[in-house]
Structure 1
Amino acid sequence: MRHRYSVLLFPLHVFFDFVCLNASFAGAYWLKFGDLASIAQPPYQSLWIAFNVVWATIILLTRPYIFPRQLFKAIPLLKKLVYLTALHAAVIAIFWLFVKGVYFSRGQLAYTYILFLLAGGLFRLGGLLFLQEYRARGYNNRRFIVVGYGKLAKTITDFYKVHPEMGFRFQGYFDWPTEENKDALAGSYTDLSKFVRREEIDCVYCCLPYIDNTQLKGIIDQSDLLDFQVKLLVDFRGFLTKGASVEYHDFLPVLNLSSQDLDDFRVAFLKRAFDVAFSLCVLLAGAPIFALVALITRFTSAGPIFYMQERIGHRGKPFMIYKFRSMYVDAEKAGPSLSQGHIDNRITPWGRVMRQTRIDELPQFLNVLFGSMSVVGPRPERQYFIDKITEIAPEYTELLKVKPGITSIGQIRFGYAANVDEMVERLRFDLLYPKRRSLLLDLWIIAHTLRVMAQGRGR
């Protein structure tokens, strides 16, 4: 019989947990009272019985010892132990209140759970190491084949080669033979049933790109008769997002690949509330500064006080961005170009001061109030430069999933970009934001922006 020793894992796990539980109870009693003479007598007799009955009930209800081999690792095992122990402690606390056990020692109970966590944890880690070594040496194996030959098929076989401790042994590829794959195959679809029966195959991986529904249905129909598992292998690499979820339309499962994190209502609501409150405070408290900057801008160079330019915002929607004018009028009459910092003759002397202290960005708090921008977010760019950037770094489109901001990680770590290559370099910093955005991160970026403004290190 295949895997005749695997059926022992469950009862052994149960047995050793009961040993650990009772040994911990007795050890805690000895630590608290210095002897074991009366542990089996009232009142602790009833508590000891309750400990075992409650643990047995939890095991029957939760079935906690069933782990697939891919998840049979230290962290899941220890997390499950902590969960079970907490659940046990909660039920025992209810039992304590029910029997009005004022004569029970809280210290003894605390020692019991501490000892049990230590003993149970050591047992699990020891058992895990033993099983991994046992399986790596070729025992307690699962034999598998892959149906559908291609790059994805090689990925799963390479995975199990790297992880021999899981105990999966590859037996061959199956597909319709062609000139390219015939030397790599163990057989065709017509050979599959005989091979599975003869080699006692446990698991058949079916690669969806290389197998059609008719062939897949035939394999599934045979699985009950020949006693093997069928696992569907689909290549979602490159577009499977962290927020993917399964939706059921009646009995039809639909995989939703949209990013749930970026559409999370709570995050969006809190961020918008913070943006509005912070912008109103800045505009009201900074009104005298705004007026002074506007006057200096007006009288230091000819032209309007404010500068408006079309930028690309959230989900690719264009909007007009507001800034205090820092360049001479018609600075871009020869076409779109980026600022060259201190050597850029298009920037006015006062504009250079504004750029170093970032005060030219202050009118963008109006953009925040209107909803086209956020206080913190990746800097918005013109479509002309977005086209240039995406030719080099297509991942720029990730930034369009969030609202652009007045300040960003890229602004404080890198600053203004003088060419497309520098914009791509700044992109490395801004790409950190969409996946990690939070109120605390926004406050951290704002604090560092204020430091850059105070030190006049903007460029």
Structure 2
Amino acid sequence: MIKQNQTYLNRLHVVMDAVCIYFAGFAAWYIRFKCTIFGFWLNQEIFDLNRYYPEFYQYQKPLISSLILLLLLYSFFGLYTPKRYQRGSKELVNLVKANLIGLGLSAFVITVWQIQNFPRSLYLLFYLFNFIFGLLSRYIIRRILKTNRKKGRNIKHTVFIGFSTSAAAYIDRIKSNPQWGLKVHGIFDDLVSDNFEYRGIKKIGTLSDLAAYLEKTSLDEVAITLNLNEYHKLEQIVAICEKSGVHTKFVPDYYNFISTNPYTEDLDGLPVINIRNVPLTNTMNKLIKRLIDIIGSIIALILFSPIMLIVAILVKKSSPGPIIFAQERIGLGNKPFKMYKFRSMGVQDPKKEAKEWTTKNDVRVTPVGRVIRKTSLDELPQFWNVLKGDMSLIGPRPERPLFVEKFKEEIPRYMIKHQVRPGITGWAQVNGFRGDTSIRSRIEHDLYYIENWSLGLDIKILFLTFFKGFVNKNAY
């Protein structure tokens, strides 16, 4: 039933998008050629009664062509995949990508073929309206689905096969997200007691009862959540599930050390799962990010040069010693490099400094240093590190060698952060994990960034840095 509902919803969504695209074309034409309020701003000649303006029917062919192109782009970017588990932010990014590519293709075709009566303002307005209408329609769909699922409609029915840490984690997430509309009927397991219950989900049988249950019960899916020591039963269970025709998913009991988006390789028919997917190991991704780093660091050094000059003068006057402080940090590939900062402390013994965290009201910090640390102005020389290639504009913050040795023994997966270049700002920093905060939470955010890197995520982090990433309440 859920599959049928999803098919109807996808078809309805395509129709809604087609209507939105067509209406966006009409709105762009009307405002560009007919609306005097906006027309004066876009085209001051609109009040010339003798001037010819194309009618809307003349744009039907290019509008239909754009409609088909955009629907194909929407499909390519996964905008018609089920929204039950899809994040709204990801859908927004894909909607932006589809419209930007559509805008670029339209501009290319109009310019190369020199198509008449297509001023730039017309197709800019068209894609602007199309994005707004597409955003609104998706918001409405999400609200309707969320409301209906909370009321017990459009529910997906499932059972769990086996109880394990992955089963507990799955149930926790289902309970925390009622908008997913998932109803777990129970658990089949051989190891737990007959009266076992976890967060209201009860054991309803053993694995030997599964085949009979699936024959007489209509389910939307089955989740295999076996304990690791029961994996020898996996082949038999999969065969039972597939025989019943129910959709089957596998939730591994080793989820805590595998990434959320692992990728597989086909070795002559043998599927090989790579535990961690790091998008920045891709040559093209690395090239694009490095190019952005070079351009961004050059622009930043030029723009911030007056501020850097003022800070340099203040640091020099605040206490004896060098203006720039170079500290050894660990970067890409576990290699050490010198990271630059404006000096915020009095000159001290390097061996002693390397072993100590900065604490609140630290006597080593100068008055000027306290201000530039709080406002992150001490980090400005790191744009030179970015230009050199030691760092990136965005990435996990680098740590001192002593603490790297300490944390790699205490925190699982800590060293994974050195698979990418460290950054001036990052996902952990814009989420508040800077200075004297939880190192474990910081690493969790760093790992999320490493495994889910995209240009869209970098732009989001850069945007958030400007609004809440500069002033740091935990910087002492």
| TM-score, normalization by structure 2 | 0.53
**How far did 1:203 drift?**
1.6
Inter-CA distance 339–148: structure 2 relative to 1 (3 Å threshold):
same
Structure 1: runs of 5 or more not aligned: 271-313, 318-325, 328-337, 342-373, 404-424, 438-459
Specify the SS of the correspondent of 2:411: helix
Q: 2:162 aligns with which of 136, 145, 148?
A: 148
Instruction: Report whether the alignment pairs 1:120 with 2:138.
Output: no
Question: 2:415, 2:400 → 1: CA distance?
Answer: 9
Question: 1:39, 1:262 → 2: CA distance?
Answer: 49
8 A Cα contact 2:165 2:227, kept in partner: no
User: Where does 1:11-410 land on structure 2 (aligned, <5 Å)?
Assistant: 11-34=11-34, 39-42=55-58, 44-58=59-73, 64-67=79-82, 69-71=84-86, 73-97=87-111, 99-176=113-190, 179=193, 184-210=202-228, 212-213=230-231, 215-236=233-254, 238-240=256-258, 245-257=263-275, 378-380=399-401, 394-395=410-411, 398=414
State the partner residue of 1:296: none
Looking at CA atoms only, which structure, 1 or 2, has the larger radius of gyration?
A: 1
**How far did 1:115 drift?**
0.8
Question: 1:426, 1:48 → 2: CA distance?
Answer: 53
Identity value in percent? 20
Residue by residue over 1:261-313, the C-alpha shift from the partner in whole angstroms, topping out at 9 and shown as x without a partner, is 9999979xx9xxxxxxxxxxxxxxxxxxxxxxxxxxxxxxxxxxxxxxxxxxx
8 A Cα contact 2:149 2:181, kept in partner: yes
Question: 1:260, 1:61 → 2: CA distance?
Answer: 22
Question: 2:276, 2:70 → 1: CA distance?
Answer: 42
Residue by residue over 1:241-266, the C-alpha shift from the partner in whole angstroms, topping out at 9 and shown as x without a partner, is 69965444333333444796999997
Inter-CA distance 122–239: structure 2 relative to 1 (3 Å threshold):
same
**How far did 1:200 drift?**
1.2
- Matched residue type, 2:81: I
Question: 2:333, 2:54 → 1: CA distance?
Answer: 72
Residue by residue over 1:206-225, the C-alpha shift from the partner in whole angstroms, topping out at 9 and shown as x without a partner, is 12435645532233234444
8 A Cα contact 1:177 1:185, kept in partner: no
Residue by residue over 1:324-348, the C-alpha shift from the partner in whole angstroms, topping out at 9 and shown as x without a partner, is xx99xxxxxxxxxx9799xxxxxxx
Question: 2:79, 2:416 → 1: CA distance?
Answer: 43
Specify the SS of the correspondent of 2:116: coil
8 A Cα contact 2:166 2:255, kept in partner: no
Specify the SS of the correspondent of 1:65: coil
8 A Cα contact 2:54 2:117, kept in partner: no
8 A Cα contact 2:187 2:203, kept in partner: yes
Specify the SS of the correspondent of 2:97: helix
State the partner residue of 2:50: none
8 A Cα contact 2:222 2:247, kept in partner: yes
8 A Cα contact 2:83 2:142, kept in partner: no
Question: 2:2, 2:179 → 1: CA distance?
Answer: 18
- Matched residue type, 1:117: F
8 A Cα contact 1:243 1:261, kept in partner: no
State the partner residue of 1:414: none
Specify the SS of the correspondent of 1:69: coil
Question: 1:94, 1:133 → 2: CA distance?
Answer: 42
- Matched residue type, 1:15: V
Inter-CA distance 138–87: structure 2 relative to 1 (3 Å threshold):
same
Structure 2: runs of 5 or more not aligned: 37-52, 291-331, 336-347, 355-389, 392-396, 420-435, 451-476
Question: 2:19, 2:170 → 1: CA distance?
Answer: 39
Question: 2:412, 2:64 → 1: CA distance?
Answer: 63
**How far did 1:192 drift?**
1.1
Specify the SS of the correspondent of 1:205: strand
| TM-score, normalization by structure 1 | 0.55
**How far did 1:381 drift?**
5.3
8 A Cα contact 1:378 1:399, kept in partner: no
- Matched residue type, 2:62: L
**How far did 1:87 drift?**
2.9
Residue by residue over 1:92-127, the C-alpha shift from the partner in whole angstroms, topping out at 9 and shown as x without a partner, is 334424653132222111111111111110111111
8 A Cα contact 1:206 1:233, kept in partner: yes
State the partner residue of 2:376: none
8 A Cα contact 2:77 2:98, kept in partner: no
State the partner residue of 2:43: none
**How far did 1:32 drift?**
1.0
Provide the aligned C-alpha RMSD in A.
4.8
Question: 1:113, 1:84 → 2: CA distance?
Answer: 10
Question: 2:267, 2:282 → 1: CA distance?
Answer: 22
Question: 1:21, 1:108 → 2: CA distance?
Answer: 14
8 A Cα contact 1:398 1:434, kept in partner: no
Question: 2:69, 2:334 → 1: CA distance?
Answer: 58
Question: 1:108, 1:159 → 2: CA distance?
Answer: 46
- Matched residue type, 1:153: A
